[in-house]
Amino acid sequence: MGRFDGQVAVVTGAAQGIGWAIAQRLGNEGAAVLLADLNGEGVQRRAEELEADGIKAAARQVDVGLVADVEGMVGDAVGRWGRLDMLVNNAFPAMEAVTGGAEDVLPEDYDKAMAVLVKASYLAARFGVSHMRRVGGGSIVNISSVHGLLAARGAFVYETGKAALIAATRQMAVEYGKDGIRANAIAPGHIATEVIEQALWDKNPTGRAFFAAQYPVGRVGEPEDIAAAVAFLCSEDAAFVTGHTLVVDGGLSVQLQENFGVEQAQYIKANQDTELPY
């Protein structure tokens, strides 16, 4: 018996990384999963992997920033399996065009990135809530970030989008609580996905060790850490949890900054071969 037997989930950005781990986790706990991603071929392969394990799964190529695509995505899940219980908004846009402060970002690039960071969650709720209401409730999980709670230089669009997602989550919780629909956000710390391992850490083990040392638990996160948090928030164990932002960051963001800064300086003094990632 899985916790989500008979339930239906839509997971966006499910072709790789955190979204793929979430799709596997919900599927392994009994849900039928629609894996949605801009990368149609990638997500098709993932759905086939789940099906090979006996999980009900399907893939759909979607741009979560587009109205018709999100409407089609929700309709596809409901058309296949007759209901919708879980919506996980996880897709992550390419950020190269929107690095920098407000004055560095072009208006059209801002709009494109915000469509994925924020509008996607609104669209998924716009088309998904009525189906959840019909079956007596459901769970919306928006993947935000510690960047939605704290600010870094050079990341105006990301910080703004992830903070807006937390505000959207709270409003959805207040709006739809009476329908049995809960809405929560997750704020991950650094999660070493396969893409990040390949792009950053495989060629820089000293940088990875430096990052790990910043975390009170002594390691950076894994996609499965976030998948476990999503499963908790979607489960009956979280029946009284809504409007919440669950920080899943190994303690990174609760450290007193002054002491933390000194500890990092000490680390670099003791490990002078450390290659910084940025």
By Cβ distance, which residue is nearest to ligand NAD? Answer: 17
Does 148 bind ligand NAD (CB under 6 A)? Our answer is: no
Joined tokens for residue 212: 């790990």
Q: Closer to ligand NAD at the Cβ: 178 or 232?
A: 232
25 binds ligand NAD per the rule CB under 6 A:
no
Binders of ligand NAD among residues 91 to 130 (CB under 6 A) are 91-93, 116
Q: How far is the CB of 69 from ligand NAD (least distance, A)?
A: 8
Residue from 11, 17, 35, 141 binding ligand NAD (CB under 6 A): 17
Q: Kindly state the smallest distance separating residue 47's Cβ from ligand NAD, in Å.
A: 13
**How many whole angstroms separate alpha carbon 4 and alpha carbon 6?**
6
Check binding of 245 to ligand NAD (CB under 6 A): no
Q: Is 19 in the site for ligand NAD (CB under 6 A)?
A: yes
User: 227 vs 19, 80, 99, 244, CA distance in Å?
Assistant: 8, 24, 27, 16
Q: Which two tokens stand for residue 3?
A: 């916790």
Amino acid at 170: R
> How many chain residues bind ligand NAD (CB under 6 A)?
27
Residues 164-193 that bind ligand NAD (CB under 6 A): 188, 190-191, 193
Residue 221 and residue 224: Cα distance in Å, rounded? 8
Of the residues 110, 158, 267, 278, only one is catalytic, namely 158
The residue within the footprint of ligand NAD, chosen from 8, 13, 25, 227 (CB under 6 A), is 13
Compute the distance between CA of residue 138 and CA of residue 216 in angstroms, rounded to an integer.
34
Task: Give the helix/strand (H/E) hosting 184.
Answer: strand 181-188
- Angle in degrees, CA 233, 234, 238, rounded to 5: 50
The single-letter DSSP state of residue 235 is S
Among the listed ranges 3-11, 86-94, 122-130, 258-266, the one in contact with ligand NAD (CB under 6 A) is 86-94
| Of 116, 113, 16, 19, the residue nearest 64 (C-alpha) | 116
Q: What are the beta bridge partners of residue 155?
A: 100
Task: Report strand pairing: 138-143 vs 8-12.
Answer: unpaired
Which residues does 159 contact at the CB level (< 8 Å), separation at least 6? 147, 148, 151, 152
158 is catalytic: yes
Annotate each residue in 41-70 with x if it binds ligand NAD (CB under 6 A) or - if it does not, as one string.
Answer: ---------------------xxxx-----
Least separation in angstroms between CB 237 and ligand NAD: 22
Judged by the rule CB under 6 A, the positions of this chain that interact with ligand NAD are 12-13, 15-19, 37-39, 62-65, 90-93, 116, 143, 145, 188, 190-191, 193, 195-196
Q: Which residues are catalytic?
A: 158
